[in-house]
Amino acid sequence: MNWQTFYRQTLRDMVLWLPLAGVIGLCAGLTSALLLVSLDWATATRVAHPILIVFLPFAGLLVGWVYYEWGRAIESGNNLLIDEIHQPRAVTQLRMMPLIFIGTVFSHLFGASVGREGTAVQMSGALADQIALITKRKVQDRRVILMAAMSAGFAGVFGTPLAGAVFGLEVQALGKMRNNALFPCLIASLVSDWLVRSLGVHHTHYVIPSIPSVTMLGLLAVLFAGALFGLAGKSFAELTHWVAGHFKRIKYPPLRPFVGGLCVASLVLIFGAERYIGLGVPSIVESFNQPIPFWDAPIKLFFTTLSLGAGFKGGEVTPLFYIGATMGNALAPLLNMPFPLLAGLGFVAVFAGAANTPLTCTLMAIELFGAAIGPYALLACVVAFLFSGHSSIYMAQRWGSGKGRPITDDKAGVRLSDLTNIK
């Protein structure tokens, strides 16, 4: 291909993807803004009326029944979208959008410990797939549309468009990124973030007052912390899947969140553990401002894996932020590092390990905390990525390349959920 043909093709691609990615970004921005406002209301209502935790089992039963009757084909959520990127089979049902939205609001209103990114990504993906259907896009274009939707949903709900752009590329295959989708993912992320902000929906600000200069001792401390963050991410992913496996022994699916909700509600009421339910944003903010108890991270991990494993809807990422930030806060005095810095690194690195997305999380750290944190963040996220092994909160991720050593071509493209069969 000569240079004239190359640039003509490039311009045609840009003309195609600029409006299409823009529409995807608008859809994601609207749904993300709606979700953020709704979850603010749900959280405020639950805090004002703590007695709502008593109804968590019944909320779980209702949501579980709705999914059992109308949402079995879409229950795998983010994993469904990742599977469709790799092996397109059928257009994602539009009902994914209202079902995951209602399920998430109910989860937060009544006190489950869940996140929100999964909801934003699924709502965006469901709408974007309808766009692919209406515009009669080919299979390769549909893959890109779904990646752009995942990017836009992530960017809209967290206010990090650069991290969002890379998330859609990085999350679908470990160690292998489809760079041809970078432009649509970036445009969709930028538009989504712009619309959320234009609508006056605000994101929580986490502040690191000062970031120390890079030193050898500082890098060694971050390297050690990154390994622990990776093990925490691995523990979260594996425990969530283990709990879900045990709840599947309950033959009637709607009863799973009922039983899980009963366990969560009972523990909260008995031990006064309201701090560990919902998103936990106040505790995350607190971890940047003052020392907090070391047990916050493991208790939050317990409540979140129990909630998600039982089938409550929402996502994993904000609870992972909570676990990472509080864990970093607790490690700071042991490593002689400022606790706001270690809280910020834990915030992104535990997620990097649990989701196998070190580049996404490094960009997120830079967007949230400033460019000065870049060297520390990249080291923490990469080490966490290495120490999390084959685990992932997204078991539909494909294995693109090894961690630390190459793998043979016949293993490439294997679903992470099947890696137990790989020696």
pLDDT, one tens digit per residue, over 85-144 is 888 888 889 999 999 999 999 999 999 999 999 999 999 999 999 998 888 788 888 999
Q: Residue 205: left (phi > 0), alpha (psi -120 to 50), or beta?
A: beta
SS3 66: helix
Q: Exposed, middle or buried, 69 (CB in 10 Å: 0-12/13-18/19+)?
A: exposed
Per-residue confidence (pLDDT) for residue 138, from 0 to 100: 82
- The residue with tokens 């830079």 is 366
Q: Is a pLDDT exceeding 90 seen at residue 307?
A: yes
Which of 175-184, 199-208, 378-387 is the least confident region? 175-184
What count of Cα atoms within 13 Å lies in the side-chain half-sphere of residue 221?
A: 21
Q: In residues, how long is the chain? A: 423
Q: Is a pLDDT exceeding 50 seen at residue 422?
A: no
As a whole number of angstroms, the distance between CA 17 and CA 191 comes to 13
Per-residue confidence (pLDDT) for residue 295, from 0 to 100: 96
Over the chain, what is the mean pLDDT? Answer: 92
- In this prediction, residues 351-380 reach a mean pLDDT of 97
Per-residue confidence (pLDDT) for residue 250, from 0 to 100: 96
Q: Is a pLDDT exceeding 80 seen at residue 373?
A: yes
Q: Is a pLDDT exceeding 60 seen at residue 173?
A: yes
Q: In which element (H, E) is residue 415 found?
A: strand 414-415
As a whole number of angstroms, the distance between CA 60 and CA 55 comes to 9
Which of 118-122, 169-173, 176-180 is the least confident region? 176-180
- Say if pTM beats, i.e. exceeds, 0.85: yes
In degrees rounded to 5, what are phi and psi of residue 292?
-130, 165
Per-residue confidence (pLDDT) for residue 106, from 0 to 100: 97
Maximum distance among all alpha carbons in the chain?
72
Q: Is a pLDDT exceeding 90 seen at residue 410?
A: no
As a whole number of angstroms, the distance between CA 228 and CA 239 comes to 16
Q: Is a pLDDT exceeding 70 seen at residue 200?
A: yes
- In this prediction, residues 154-162 reach a mean pLDDT of 97
Q: DSSP letters of 232-300?
A: HHHHHHHHHHHHHHHHTTSSSTTHHHHHHHHHHHHHHHHHT-GGGSS--HHHHHHHHHS---TTHHHHH
Contact 384, 227 (CB under 8 A): yes
- In this prediction, residues 371-386 reach a mean pLDDT of 97
Q: Exposed, middle or buried, 134 (CB in 10 Å: 0-12/13-18/19+)?
A: exposed
Higher pLDDT, 407 or 355: 355
Per-residue confidence (pLDDT) for residue 423, from 0 to 100: 39
Give the rounded distance of the alpha carbon of 345 from its chain centre: 16
Per-residue confidence (pLDDT) for residue 351, from 0 to 100: 98
Closest C-alpha to 255, from 100, 80, 58 = 58
Q: Is a pLDDT exceeding 80 seen at residue 1?
A: no
Q: Is a pLDDT exceeding 80 seen at residue 213?
A: yes
- In this prediction, residues 57-65 reach a mean pLDDT of 97
Per-residue confidence (pLDDT) for residue 417, from 0 to 100: 66
As a whole number of angstroms, the distance between CA 85 and CA 141 comes to 10
Of all residues in the chain, the percent with pLDDT exceeding 90 is: 78
